Amino acid sequence: MIDRRDFLKIASAVIPTWGLIPIASAQSPLYTGKFLFNVHASGGIDASSWFDPRETDATMNNYAAARTPAAVAGNIRVAPMGNNAAFLQRYFQNMLVLNGVNSETNSHDDGTRAHATGMLAMGYPNLSELFAYTQGKNVPLSWLNAGGFMTSAGLVPATPMPDGNSFRTLISPNAQSAQTDFIKQGDVAKMLAARAERVKAQQAAGNLVPRSQMVNAQFDAASSSRAMLARVNDFLPPTFDNAAHVALVAAQAGLMTTAQFASGGFDGHGQLANSYAQSLPRLTDLVDYIITKAGELGIANRLVVRIYSEFGRTPLNNGNGKDHWPVGCQVIMEGTPPAWGNRVFGASGPRHQQLKIDPATGAVDAVNGKVMTPRHVHAALRKYLGIQTSDPKFQLNIPASENFDIFNPNAKTGYPTM
Amino acid sequence: MNRNMPSNVSSAAARVLASILLTGFLALAATAGTAAELRGFASLGLNGLILFQPCDGRKVSNRTLKVDDATPDTALTAGIDDVRRIMLESGRPLYVEFRGDVAGIVATARQFQRALGTVASCESVPSVIAAGTRFWAAGDEPSWRLVLTAGDAQLERPGQKPVRFPAAAFAAPVKTPTGRVVDAWSPQDGGSIRLELTEQMCSDGRSESAYGARVTLRYGSTTYEGCAARF
């Protein structure tokens, strides 16, 4: 049997201590808003192997050399690699493609931080952290992290993603398996009731020393948190498919606001087409799973997915690979088609040179346009997600003239260089 | 240790054993190091210390050497810094190649050849530079490569016929204060090249690679820029 002490051990390993303290009341509301899934395509995904294809210049891609055209659905194009075409066909109405985003770095570490926080400078909160802090700091698994940038800015610590078994143990410490309990649930209920009565009696006596009072308070908080976590029992599947499934069940139960994943294999310095034949399907399969499963769980209408990477890549090098290049692309999706879907905002040149964009319309404007960077994308995301912060430490300091209106359904760039 | 052995005898035996082991270790290190071509993994210690674990065939050796960077303008250190700044998993040991001497546990680097952030093990080193290659330089945009083996030198460019040059032309370069210049003419394929090599750390800042020399190659009316890893 797992007792309170054991439960607290498990909880402290999976849930940060702060997660127990603020929810002293089991009446804390469950989270019912949008949830954000950040997916980091780790290694620096090549834009022209993704949603900024180049189909005629043989120095850019093997598929261009073979004269294979890009796949098209709606207003969006994608490189004919991996399962990209099927992914686009299925989700083009759900997605906004941001092309020509300048990471301002060729460094993996700096690019990871810039796209996670919006800033190259250190100390800014990850979008996941800011989202968890503003939307659900009182839920116990607010920011689940299965990869990517997880350095906290001090707002909310990330909770390492538990695997299915750990998650089940956390939710139901008495469960030996999906079907069997260690001891009869009725006996557990009696024992918990007896404990609660004892604590109540101790408190009523009014003669506890401060240390005992503190222990009782912690016990009460842990019990309340347990009660909250136990609500997940209503949604627990017999088995978990993967980490994304765990996150979605936590979201369904109202205990999570944001989850973060990394899908690697995009640092293709040599023979890029070969490595991307593995890594691209892995990425699209993950996102496809998240959206499909969210639909099955009835929560697709609350789902926002962002797919990003450290930077883009150069034309093909001597080894048929591609090196680091600051200008790249990212994708924002929702579980159900949003008004702002089926669009491309921003663009890069024929060899992914930087282009300047009119922030209001999305049109290429070499004279008065602005360079779109991660902080511009983050400013727009913060506004769209309702997570702007008034804390001066975390301001992105975007001038009004550089507010890229990326979620405006009428602002679009398309593919001007194709 | 034999608990019945008198302590003075046992300590003397231990000193002899330690001496034998140390002598053997130093001999092994010196033997391995005199090969001049060193390749393996470098880690950064405190105060700029570079620790080096040589590759022993396809595996990393258990030996750790301290590197004294005597390359021009400390190109080895500069190359390590440059690659580490942008590489994936930047905290792990970095694959490097250099020419140098080993004395005891100190490897003195005389010529930095290359550092590759994309190599994670001795067996995964790309085979683009064959054993015995005497000169190797390459660049991108446009892509080119100049390789000198025991036979001849060859300029390779994608989609174009290779151009061959006699190896003898590289045997007596004109020395300059920072490097050397080679002029060569191709009797078989026609055309001439001028190769200017400057021994300094060379990196494009995007390929997770750094090299020991900067190269400018003129062939016909085209100028090619790149870096050299054998020179």
- One domain, residues A374 and A272: yes
DSSP string, A65-110: HTTPPPEEETTEEE-SSTTHHHHHHHHGGGEEEEEEEE-S---HHH
In this prediction, residue A104 carries a pLDDT of 97
Percent of chain A with pLDDT over 90: 70
- One domain, residues A308 and A398: yes
Lowest mean pLDDT among A208-217, A336-345, B72-81, B123-132: A208-217
- One domain, residues A146 and A259: yes
Higher pLDDT, A332 or B177: A332
Query: Does some domain include residue A413?
Result: no
- One domain, residues A278 and A203: no
Candidates A42, A106, A317; nearest CB to B140: A317
Q: How many domains does chain A have?
A: 2
Query: Does some domain include residue A87?
Result: yes
Q: What is the ipTM metric for this complex?
A: 0.77
Substitution target from A316, A320, A324, A327 for chain B, most B beta carbons within 10 A: A324
Query: Does some domain include residue A412?
Result: no
In this prediction, residue B202 carries a pLDDT of 98
Q: What is the pLDDT of residues B1-34, one digit of tens each?
A: 333 444 444 444 545 444 444 444 434 443 444 4
Instruction: Tell me which chain A residues have a C-beta less than 8 angstroms from the C-beta of B203.
Output: none
- Res. A15 pLDDT band, cuts 50 70 90: very low
User: Is residue A22's pLDDT more than 60?
Assistant: no
Substitution target from B90, B206, B225, B227 for chain A, most A beta carbons within 10 A: B206
- One domain, residues A153 and A180: no
Q: Give, in order, the Cα–Cα distances in Å from B66 to each of A116, B29, B61, B105, B108.
A: 38, 12, 14, 6, 8
User: Is residue A16's pLDDT more than 50?
Assistant: no
pTM given for the model: 0.82
Cis previous bond, B142, omega within 30 = yes
Q: List CB contacts of B37: < 8 A, sequence separation 6 or more.
A: B97, B99
Query: Does some domain include residue A410?
Result: no
- One domain, residues A64 and A211: no
- One domain, residues A265 and A354: yes
- One domain, residues A183 and A137: no
In this prediction, residue A6 carries a pLDDT of 53
- CATH number of the CATH domain containing A60: 3.40.720
Q: What is the pLDDT of residues A53-98, one digit of tens each?
A: 999 999 999 999 999 999 999 999 999 999 999 999 999 999 999 9
Candidates B88, B118, B140; nearest CB to A318: B140
Lowest mean pLDDT among A245-249, B16-20, B67-71: B16-20
- One domain, residues A256 and A373: yes
The mean pLDDT value for A334-342 works out to 98
Cβ <8 Å between A318 and B138: yes
- Res. A235 pLDDT band, cuts 50 70 90: confident
- One domain, residues A140 and A190: no
User: Is residue A271's pLDDT more than 80?
Assistant: yes
Give the C-alpha separation, A103 to A111, whole Å: 6
- One domain, residues A80 and A24: no
Residue where one domain finishes, among candidates A214, A235, A256: A235
Note down the domain range covering A249. Answer: 35-164+243-402
In this prediction, residue A2 carries a pLDDT of 46
Query: Does some domain include residue A129?
Result: yes
In this prediction, residue A28 carries a pLDDT of 53
Query: Does some domain include residue A332?
Result: yes
Give the C-alpha separation, A10 to A169, whole Å: 8
User: Is residue A376's pLDDT more than 70?
Assistant: yes
Token pair in block for residue A349: 């040149």
Instruction: Tell me which chain A residues have a C-beta less than 8 angstroms from the C-beta of B205.
Output: 106, 324
The mean pLDDT value for A108-125 works out to 97
Instruction: Tell me which chain A residues have a C-beta less than 8 angstroms from the C-beta of B85.
Output: 107
- One domain, residues A269 and A305: yes
In this prediction, residue B47 carries a pLDDT of 84
Query: Does some domain include residue A411?
Result: no
Cβ <8 Å between B141 and A315: yes
- Count the helix, strand and coil residues of chain A and give each as a percent rounded to the nearest 5: 40, 15, 45
Q: What is the pLDDT of residues A132-189, one digit of tens each?
A: 999 988 888 999 999 999 899 999 999 999 988 888 887 877 877 767 888 888 888 8
Q: List CB contacts of A98: < 8 A, sequence separation 6 or more.
A: A329, A330, A331, A332, A344, A345, A346, A372, A377, A406
In this prediction, residue A13 carries a pLDDT of 47
Q: What is the pLDDT of residues A382-405, one digit of tens each?
A: 999 999 988 888 999 999 999 999
Query: Does some domain include residue A414?
Result: no
